[in-house]
Amino acid sequence: MSQPEKRERYEDSHLYRIRHSAAHIMAQAVMEMFPDGKVTIGPPVEDGFYYDFDLPRNLTPEDLEQIEKRMRQIIAGKFEFEKKVVPADEARKIFKDQPYKIELIEGLEKGGFDEYGNPLKVKPEISIYQQDTFVDLCRGPHVQNTKELKPDAFKLMSVAGAYWRGDEHNKMLQRIYGTAWESKKDLDDYLWRLEEAKKRDHRKLGKELEIFIFEDEVGPGLPLWLPNGGVMIEELEKLAKEMEEKAGYLRVRTPNLTKEDLFIRSGHLPYYAESMYPPMELEGVKYYVKPMNCPMHHKIFASKGRSYRDLPIRLAEYGTCYRYEKSGELFGLMRVRSMQMNDAHIYCSEEQFEQEFLGVVDLYIKYFKLFGIEKYVMRLSLHSKEGLGKKYVDNERLWIKTEEMVRRAMTNGNVPFVEAEDEAAFYGPKIDVQVWSAIGREFSLMTNQVDFAVPARFDLKFTNKEGNDEVPLCIHRAPLSTHERMIGFLIEHYAGNFPVWLSPEHVRVIPITDGQNEYAQSIVQQLRDNGIRVSADISAQRMNAKIRAAQLMKVPYMLVVGENEMKANQVSLRVRDGSQQNNIALSEFIARAKDRIVKRSAEL
């Protein structure tokens, strides 16, 4: 489902009405507290609502408590939400002491904007809603009366600054954020998810677990991978290489820099220039750092003649790409300017397309099972006619043809999907994959794109069965997204408690006293000889402090060794989940750990 479709469905829901009504009730409570205050707008948002106010002083946490208390009283009053359509002159009289509302009324009168400042194609009616003594300029919808809100199913969350209409040249207002739900249980679940999300925040855990950092001197959106992060990247690449080698992929490498002409030919500069870093010029030639690998892969395909017998050709690369994301859109590992993609391009004939496209989808499913991703949605992203020649390649016939090819492949493969208009790549339709983490947060990770346009720009061809030249289709795919986004997702999904195979450190050996340090080091060497990532804590700290340090780093296995274990060539095992097993043979532990690692098991 596209974002506009999701928004439209949300606006038709009862939950939307509850939140819209809660915003009005909150505004009534605030205006009773500050009679000289000025109100602006108060719309529902994805998980709640907000309202912006121009008030004589800054709000405090105690103010929010009083506002909540008054809101419950208003809810109990069972006041009707009454709508009335009024002429502009009457609306101006009603809101004569509210300058922000007057500005909105003038916009509505001209037919330019609705009450939220959004441009409108059709001149709207001017309507007001009233509950109890509070009147607001609003198009609705609302619940029938205040009693439909549950007094224990809403909460005011925070106060933040916000410029009027989002323009920094306008006055700074106070924005109160709140959330409202249909039941107390829904509210409690939401608050739990918020708290859990704070604990699992990949930016927080990424630093604590020494996975990645950002440095101002390096630049925003350019992550530095620490050794633990480097291990995780290596493990993901190892996984991808194993899967792709079984599927017949060939590995290639390309430079991070290329001449401007390549991106002009590919069409990326006209369509993608805003997301590319500016060029550098040397000896009269402009060069760009690459935002994607595909033009160079096309050159590799074209490096020699191809026959239908050679197809499909699957070229994979984990090269680093650079895209200029706006500063305000950067977000930890999820939105960065330097990224390493699980990238590949499949060149195939039309007859091979369905099998190849579904082969990529099958990779998705295997990764979902491996990482315990239970909820996901595959979205067929389509073009729009209005965007032809601007946002999309101007070839309506091929758009319709390739969109139907994807639709047919997904249907024949019994793969559930939804459709979304105006979200395709500039060169063709694609399947985007939304996944949900263990705490129910949505992430956009994988993509599987059809390219019907760019191969012809590079004169790519193969000799078909009839001996004629034919242009191949190209499938761009990234089943493991980028290393950055995938690891960001996995940090939250697992709360840092990674399965053994993915954990930067498999085992921490903890000697009880210095007398076991040499034995601990011998264990380290034996484990390393068996491909197990391990370290020994031979610091001067006490045993409990060493165990605590390993727990904070979420190490799956801790091997505690004292005098008795050393004499018997044994270890006492403490597992991250809290379970323990004393005096087991080292060889038995090694076999167990290797089994979990080799199988990429989720169990400890």
- Where do the domains of the chain lie? 3-182, 208-485, 500-598
Express each pLDDT in 541-597 by its tens digit.
999 999 999 999 999 999 999 999 999 999 999 999 989 999 999 999 999 999 999
Q: Which phi and psi (to 5°) does residue 435 adopt?
A: -125, 160
Q: Mark out the alpha helices in 372-512 (DSSP H runs).
A: 396-412, 454-457, 483-494
- What is the reported pTM? 0.84
For residue 188, give the 3-state DSSP assignment. Answer: helix
Per-residue confidence (pLDDT) for residue 4, from 0 to 100: 57
Q: Tell me the C-alpha distance between 137 and 446, whole Å.
A: 43
Structural fold of domain 3-182:
Threonyl-tRNA Synthetase; Chain A, domain 2 (3.30.980)
CA distance 185 to 85: 37
Contact between residue 472 and residue 565 where contact means Cβ atoms under 8 Å apart? no
CA 202 to centroid of chain Cα atoms: 11
- The residue assigned the tokens 């009862």 is 14
Look up residue 276 and give its two tokens: 């590319």
Q: Could you give the CA distance from residue 281 to residue 435 in angstroms, rounded to a whole number?
A: 41
DSSP state at residue 514 = G
Whole-angstrom distance, CA of residue 527 vs CA of residue 506: 10
Q: Which class is 208-485 in CATH? A: alpha beta
What tokens appear for 71 in the block?
A: 């809101």
Spell out the SS3 assignment of 278-297: CCEEECCEEEEECCCCHHHH
* Of 343, 337, 300, residue with least CA distance to 319: 343
Peptide bond between residue 479 and the one before it cis (omega within 30 degrees of 0): no
pLDDT score at 308 = 96
Round to whole Å and give the CA distance between 523 and 530: 11
What is the reported pLDDT for 430?
92
Tell me which residue of 470, 471, 415 sits closest to 448, measured CA to CA: 415
Kindly report the backbone phi and psi dihedral angles of residue 56, in degrees, each rounded to the nearest multiple of 5, phi listed first: -70, -15
DSSP state, 604?
-
**Extended beta strands in 480-540, E state:** 507-511, 534-536
How would you classify the pairing of strands 154-163 and 557-561? unpaired
Q: Could you tell me which of 524, 486, 506, 510 has the C-alpha nearest to residue 565?
A: 510
The amino acid occupying position 305 is: G
Burial class (CB in 10 A: 0-12, 13-18, 19+), 339: buried
Residue by residue, DSSP assigns 68-102 as: HHHHHHHHHTT-B-EEEE--HHHHHHHTTT-HHHH
Please state, in angstroms and rounded to a whole number, the distance separating the CA atoms of residues 33 and 25: 13
What lies within 8 Å, CB to CB, of 166 at 6+ separation is none
> How is the chain split among helix, strand and coil, in percent rounded to 5?
40, 25, 35
Distance CA 93, CA 95 (A): 5
Tokens representing 511 are: 């000697």
User: How far is 567 from 572, CA to CA, in rounded Å?
Assistant: 13
Contact between 298 and 458 under an 8 Å Cβ cutoff? The reply is: yes
On the 0-12 / 13-18 / 19+ scale of CB atoms within 10 A, 309 is exposed
CB-based contact 480:342 (threshold 8 Å): yes
Provide the residue type at 207 as one letter.
K
The C-alpha atoms of residue 269 and residue 265 are separated, in whole angstroms, by 9
pLDDT at 6: 64
Please tell me whether the peptide bond between 556 and the residue prior to it is cis, using omega within 30 degrees of 0: no
How many separate helices (H) and strands (E) can be counted in the chain? 19, 30
Long-range contacts of 320-325 (CB under 8 A, 24+ apart): 320/256, 321/290, 321/291, 321/292, 321/293, 322/256, 322/277, 322/289, 322/290, 322/291, 323/275, 323/276, 323/277, 323/291, 324/274, 324/275, 324/276, 324/277, 325/221, 325/275
Q: What is the CATH number of domain 500-598?
A: 3.40.50.800
Q: Contact, 126 vs 54, CB < 8 A?
A: no
Weakly modelled stretches of the chain, pLDDT under 50? none
